[in-house]
Structure 1
Amino acid sequence: MNRYIPNQHGAWVMLILPFLFGLVAFGGQSLHILLFISWLLLYLLSFPVLQWIKTGKAYKYRQPALVYAGLSIPVLSLLLIYQPDLIGYGIFLGICFVLNMYYARTRNERALINDMIAIVMFCSFIYPVMYIGRTTDWRLATTLFVIAVLYFVGTALYVKTMLRERGNVHYYIGSIFYHIVICGLVSWMNIGLIISFALLLLRSIILPHFKLKSKHVGIIEICFAVLLYVSITILYS
């Protein structure tokens, strides 16, 4: 099943959280179900395709790629029948995915720039959620997009200090400095967010001193994601 189901905890959170942010702010429509199924299938399709490009092991990843492509095509076609304007968003996703393919091909998919591209792509999902919610509050959507991006960029930096860059003083200091800056930014955007982001700052200062396994880092981060979601629900519903 590891050929079919991605085991990256952070990616699953990025897949779901912006969608939930959008539902909180703009309300749910029945078409949101089809939208999320399409989003999920595209993510599942991207996993074997990128692994195929990275490893060159067609025999291992061809079948899951074909399975997800076969499931994605009719679902996406149905979605575009209802909302043809989303083709523009699809073009944006395609450009981001081409960049992801480049980093997979060069076996550098853990590069920070590639992480930033993925974060922007995942967080941008707030916009089609807003669009299907039949509203044009672009200011609110952009506010939620920025909050999500700030959170996930900070998480990417923090996780590197916990795992791949453990013991790297430059990454550690950079992560702390970044979290201090975003505490100021979110306070300016909505003072109610300061508690959640102050806790994220404390997490970036304290937890790198503990040698936690990747599984535990992922579980803890899911808890912080839930905390942020609760804050968004209270402040923006």
Structure 2
Amino acid sequence: MMKNNIVIPHEHGGWAMVSVPFIIGMLAGHPSWMHVLLFLAWLFLYLASYPFLQALKKRSKRGHLIKWGITYSVIAVLCVLVPLVKHPELFYFAIPLVCLLLVNIWHVKRKAEREMLNDLCALLIFALGGAAAYLIGDGGWDRTMVWVILFNFIYFIGTVFFVKTVFRKRGNQRWFTASRIYHILLLIIPWIVGLPWMTLAYVFALVRAFIYGGKQIRPMKVGILEVVGAVYFLVVTVIVIQMKL
């Protein structure tokens, strides 16, 4: 969306997806000033991806979009330099990030951004941001990193199901049923991976899916539900992971 010629993403959920996994990963380790630089780099990388992807679709505004994409990218690179020097292992995240981004680009070129595979790849990118935050907080390539990726990934898949059932897929019984089944499974997955208390982090999402799923809801209310759900998930997840460490 363009306001006063500034290009920024307009999706409510995107801001939660770029920040919540990162904060969880940071708090699962040991927060430091380095996280400020890494988060700014991550934020501006997210901001850069939007105009670049939009430029693939909008020829009339391509120059303006690319200008903002380059601006955001330069800021992201400047912010990430110190974290990369201090933690060169961050380079390992480049390979999966590039591969997932290529899938997003492919979907944009095909004008199929709303396909579930595209959403899943985007969600995994955000979850990897949490893993990177954990790594520079004296974390390792360990079970906690897997938890940070997994729990964020499966939570935001639930938000995708919910949003689709109240907007584009409203009235589609198959999507509504799939959403309910998925949110029930969310309560089971933590038990399978050995962290049963994490079930609590998905209670709000379950209630939201059953009460509001499939109904006509104003976008503002959906946005509020997403924010409340993300904050609830963040707080409970941090508490549970801290208890387990």
Contact 1:18 1:148 in 2 (8 A): yes
Q: Deviations over 1:171-223 (max 9, x none)?
A: 00000011111211124443323333233222111102532122221211110
Q: Which residue of 2 aligns with 1:105?
A: 109
Structure 2, unpaired ranges of 5+: none
Contact 1:54 1:106 in 2 (8 A): no
Contact 1:80 1:86 in 2 (8 A): yes
1-structure distance, mates of 2:15, 2:53: 16
Aligned positions, number = 237
- Out of 190, 194, 197, the position equivalent to 1:192 is 197
Structure 1, unpaired ranges of 5+: none
Runs of 4+ in 1 over 4 A off after TM superposition: none
- Out of 31, 53, 56, the position equivalent to 2:56 is 53
Amino acid at match of 1:130: Y
1-structure distance, mates of 2:20, 2:155: 11
TM-score, normalising length from structure 1?
A: 0.93
Q: Which residue of 1 aligns with 2:71?
A: 67
> Could you say if the C-alpha distance between residues 232 and 131 of structure 1 is closer, same or farther in structure 2, counting changes exceeding 3 Å?
same
- Out of 42, 49, 59, the position equivalent to 1:39 is 42
Contact 2:170 2:215 in 1 (8 A): no
2-structure distance, mates of 1:36, 1:208: 33
Contact 2:41 2:75 in 1 (8 A): no
1-structure distance, mates of 2:129, 2:69: 22
Greater mean deviation of Cα atoms: 68-77 or 172-181: 68-77
| Residues 62-211 of structure 1 mapped to structure 2, 5 A cutoff | 62-136=66-140, 138-188=142-192, 189-211=194-216
- Out of 224, 232, 237, the position equivalent to 1:219 is 224
Q: Deviations over 1:97-144 (max 9, x none)?
A: 111111111111111110000011111122211221113261012112
Match of 1:125, SS state, is helix
TM-score, normalising length from structure 2?
A: 0.90
Greater mean deviation of Cα atoms: 57-66 or 171-180: 57-66
1-structure distance, mates of 2:195, 2:73: 41
State the Cα RMSD in Å.
1.7
Contact 2:186 2:199 in 1 (8 A): no
- How high is the sequence identity, in percent, across the aligned residues? 29
Greater mean deviation of Cα atoms: 131-140 or 34-43: 131-140
1-structure distance, mates of 2:184, 2:136: 35
Q: Which residue of 2 aligns with 1:229?
A: 234
